[in-house]
Amino acid sequence: MSEGLPTAFLLSIGSELLAGETVDTNAAFLGRKLRQLGIRLAEVRQLPDDRDVIAKAFVQAAIQADVVLATGGLGPTHDDLTREGLAYAVGEELVLDRELEADLRERFAAHGRMPESNLRQAMRVASAQVLANPIGSAPGWWVERGDGVIALMPGVPSEMRLMWEQEVAPRLATRVGRAPLAVRTVKTFGVGESAAAELLGEVLSAPPAGVEAGIYARDDGVHLRFSTAREASALDPLAARAAQLLGAQVWGADDDDLASVALVALGRSGAATVASWEADTGGALLAILAAGTATDGAARYVGGLLDAGGAASAPVADAVIQLSLLPQDAHGRSRVRLAVSGRPSLATDELRIHGSGPQRLRRAAFAALDRIRRIDAG
Amino acid sequence: MSEGLPTAFLLSIGSELLAGETVDTNAAFLGRKLRQLGIRLAEVRQLPDDRDVIAKAFVQAAIQADVVLATGGLGPTHDDLTREGLAYAVGEELVLDRELEADLRERFAAHGRMPESNLRQAMRVASAQVLANPIGSAPGWWVERGDGVIALMPGVPSEMRLMWEQEVAPRLATRVGRAPLAVRTVKTFGVGESAAAELLGEVLSAPPAGVEAGIYARDDGVHLRFSTAREASALDPLAARAAQLLGAQVWGADDDDLASVALVALGRSGAATVASWEADTGGALLAILAAGTATDGAARYVGGLLDAGGAASAPVADAVIQLSLLPQDAHGRSRVRLAVSGRPSLATDELRIHGSGPQRLRRAAFAALDRIRRIDAG
């Protein structure tokens, strides 16, 4: 289990997280970024805006991990209590930092007067170094305690990400970073999680010493992940063997996304531009295609129409993906019909899909893209 | 702080969460649903696939909360260890449930042979009642201990949601539910978080006894939330007063979404159908419009085109929203240009937007929708 790596705890602070009003996307971002620095994220805790709960969590996390990160609760309002929580945990007073105050007043000068509540954002404990926030009013903190370190960042994702890249990551790399974990991912569609595990056998259940192997069911299929803190080259034969065992179900590796893989297949088949027209799928195909990354050789996605939006007004593109959800069958199973203009081999009257609710619609779109990327297979 | 409500802890289990490969959307869903049952989600912990860590977390959570929910780690593979963790925590053995085994074999009969690893999913402790999973192979568990209860659900969102609705929520409502929290939300765009807090004054900082007031900055603007475990009617004057203080910046309440509000404004202006055409915004406008909920009186969104996708092929719609991101100015500020065909009052060459990265593109789309919903204001 990633032996010997430094560990991190993340405290995601904000009652809006626990009330379900905000999805904590910061946690996944920081999990990935920490791993790239060779630091293992050992636990995430979502906590309410409650000073005593926050203070206790800082104390516990600092005992258990080398690095404690916190996001959120640095705003100007009365329920932003991360500063107070950490001050209480480390037994220091909050004092006004005149330089921070001057920065804040200057930031607000362009918009008129600064609300007095923003002065809370110029308070810090004496042992905290300030982390700059070029795009928001909440500065971060960097607090070193013995061998450990605690960093506070804003909860707004764009501000957190910029502060991570410019301020936190460079300090961590210097202080506790080791060689980053090497990771290889193999991505499939069309095989279930347990069937894939059985096909993989010991490649998954008994990888070589120092290598971790995991299997995950996602909307875009089952993913295998191999990671190691040792030589990256140790992963190559494992990834290759996994791809061989899973055969035609493999559609990509590492950062590949299925939309781009399908657009590359259409590009190879001669289409320079692709549009979509979908019925009863809630725009799932359009949203996934629009989020695909630009890739060499891929057909360009130019947009999509929804439902009865219009046969008459379908965008002019070399290939138009037409996808419609069919009524459920007697067993409650869902199916979609797929056709791609000018590519008769991609006309089908039945792709079975799994799942329910909004996820079912995403899975319908991925099933279509998986069918399209296999176009060469006829 | 929501005095007297029963409390819940959620354990989100899976190393893929901590590695940043999966965003935990289950936590926000369960936070909202628990609140509707009058149960306060006090903490969420994301934990790795490690039996001892999981067992310890179950013990700690059961001490601190009336209800312990866990999602994930119920799959068939060797790293699915939630069953083992809970068995260890409660000091019971895992035994094969013959009835579950028969169900599983029947489920797989349609697809051929069941992989033997799936037998792990038929194991349970004697004190666990089985929670049915009609759309997946992982059954849930319901374990009562003294006054408390522990429920295990799958991590796949569609399976978790169905099991929640059909199995867990009805049991919880009977066992620990009280009157649900009443919640009123006021949604704004065009005013900052601290400026809004200052305008609101004591409405936000000193609400009446038994009412909680919170303020949150989101991509679609600043939201105010009032909640109470007492009479819902106590919130009406607060929400009305907040709306009055924030004036024209208020675009909606409660479950309203800005896309639908903008489409209603366009409907009122005479458009039955709306399309979009956006440049350099990564499809943000299209994704937000496609996800809007159908609303009475709203113009129908029929689809969108991206970038150079084509003036020539713009879908035929009564109104076409044209949005393009402009180069950043000397201060690094971002702006968008907005025009809506046939509505000269909606042509503008500058909407300023805040944030960076993908969030900036979403904020550009929301800024355009906010401008559109104000169409009546000229």
- pLDDT tens readout for residues A80-101: 999 999 999 999 999 999 999 9
Specify the pLDDT at position A169: 94
Which of B354 and B230 is assigned the larger pLDDT? B230
Residue B378 pLDDT exceeds 50 = no
Closest by CA to B18, choosing from A10, A66, A14, is A10
Specify the pLDDT at position A377: 53
Mean pLDDT of chain A: 89
Point out the residue among A49, A216, A302 whose CB comes nearest to the CB of B310.
Answer: A302
Helices (H), chain B: 15-18, 25-36, 51-64, 82-90, 98-109, 157-163, 169-175, 193-200, 202-205, 235-246, 258-268, 284-291, 357-373
- Enumerate the residues of chain A whose CB falls inside 8 A of the CB of residue B303: 277, 286, 303-306, 309-310
Residue span(s) of chain B under CATH 3.30.70.2860 come to: 182-253
Residue span(s) of chain B under CATH 3.40.980.10 come to: 7-175
Which of A294 and B188 is assigned the larger pLDDT? B188
CATH code 3.90.1170.50 for A7-175: no
Specify the pLDDT at position A349: 67
Point out the residue among B161, B195, B198 whose CB comes nearest to the CB of A357.
Answer: B161
- Enumerate the residues of chain A whose CB falls inside 8 A of the CB of residue B205: 77-78
Beta strands A221-228 and A211-218: pairing type? antiparallel
Residue span(s) of chain A under CATH 3.90.950.20 come to: 258-377
The mean pLDDT of B310-327, rounded to a whole number, is 74
Any B CB within 8 A of A204 CB? yes
Which of A152 and A326 is assigned the larger pLDDT? A152
The mean pLDDT of A61-74, rounded to a whole number, is 96
Any A CB within 8 A of B218 CB? yes
Point out the residue among A48, A283, A310 whose CB comes nearest to the CB of B290.
Answer: A283
Q: What are phi and psi of B271, to 5 degrees?
A: -90, 130
Where does the pLDDT of residue A1 fall: very low under 50, low under 70, confident under 90, or very high at 90 and above? very low
Of A140-154, B218-232, B291-305, the least confident: B291-305
- Chain segment B199-227, per-residue pLDDT in tens: 999 999 999 998 989 898 889 999 999 99
- Percent of chain B scored above 70 by pLDDT? 93
The mean pLDDT of B136-158, rounded to a whole number, is 93
CATH for B182-253 (3.30.70.100, 3.40.109.10, 3.30.70.2860, 2.60.120.10): 3.30.70.2860
- Chain segment B38-66, per-residue pLDDT in tens: 899 999 999 999 999 999 999 999 999 99
Any A CB within 8 A of B244 CB? no
Specify the pLDDT at position B311: 46
Chain A CA closest to residue B283: A290
* Contact predicate B245/B199, CB 8 Å: yes
CATH number of B258-377: 3.90.950.20
Dist CA A271 CA A276 (whole Å):
13
Specify the pLDDT at position A180: 74
- Provide the β-strand partners of residue B46: A44, B12
Specify the pLDDT at position A327: 83
Instruction: Give the side-chain half-sphere CA count within 13 A for A163.
Output: 29
The mean pLDDT of A35-45, rounded to a whole number, is 93
Specify the pLDDT at position A312: 43
Where does the pLDDT of residue B130 fall: very low under 50, low under 70, confident under 90, or very high at 90 and above? very high
Where does the pLDDT of residue A344 fall: very low under 50, low under 70, confident under 90, or very high at 90 and above? confident
* Contact predicate B337/B190, CB 8 Å: no
Q: Is the dihedral of CA B368, B372, B373, B378 positive or negative?
A: positive
Point out the residue among B23, B35, B305 whose CB comes nearest to the CB of A19.
Answer: B35
Kindly report the number of other CB atoms within 10 A of residue A206's CB atom: 11
Flag if B310 and A301 touch (Cβ within 8 Å). Answer: no
The mean pLDDT of B283-296, rounded to a whole number, is 83
The mean pLDDT of A217-242, rounded to a whole number, is 92
Interface of B with A in 304-363 (CB under 8 A): 304-310, 312-317, 354-357, 359-360
Specify the pLDDT at position B1: 42
Q: What is the DSSP secondary structure assignment for residue B145, as one 8-state letter?
A: E
Q: What are phi and psi of B32, to 5 degrees?
A: -65, -45
Q: How many helices (H) and strands (E) does chain B have?
A: 13, 17
The pTM for the full model equals 0.77
Mean pLDDT of chain B: 89
- Percent of chain B scored above 90 by pLDDT? 57
Point out the residue among B30, B286, B313 whose CB comes nearest to the CB of A290.
Answer: B286
Most confident by average pLDDT, A78-82, A114-118, A248-252 = A248-252
- Provide the β-strand partners of residue B139: none
Q: Which long-range contacts (CB under 8 A, 24 or more apart) does A324-329 make?
A: A324/A278, A324/A279, A324/A280, A324/A281, A325/A279, A325/A280, A325/A281, A325/A361, A325/A364, A326/A350
Residue A205 pLDDT exceeds 60 = yes
Specify the pLDDT at position B61: 95
Any B CB within 8 A of A36 CB? no
- Enumerate the residues of chain A whose CB falls inside 8 A of the CB of residue B204: 77-78
Where does the pLDDT of residue A318 fall: very low under 50, low under 70, confident under 90, or very high at 90 and above? confident
Residues 6+ apart with CB under 8 A from B325: B279, B280, B281, B334, B335, B336, B361, B364
Any A CB within 8 A of B56 CB? no
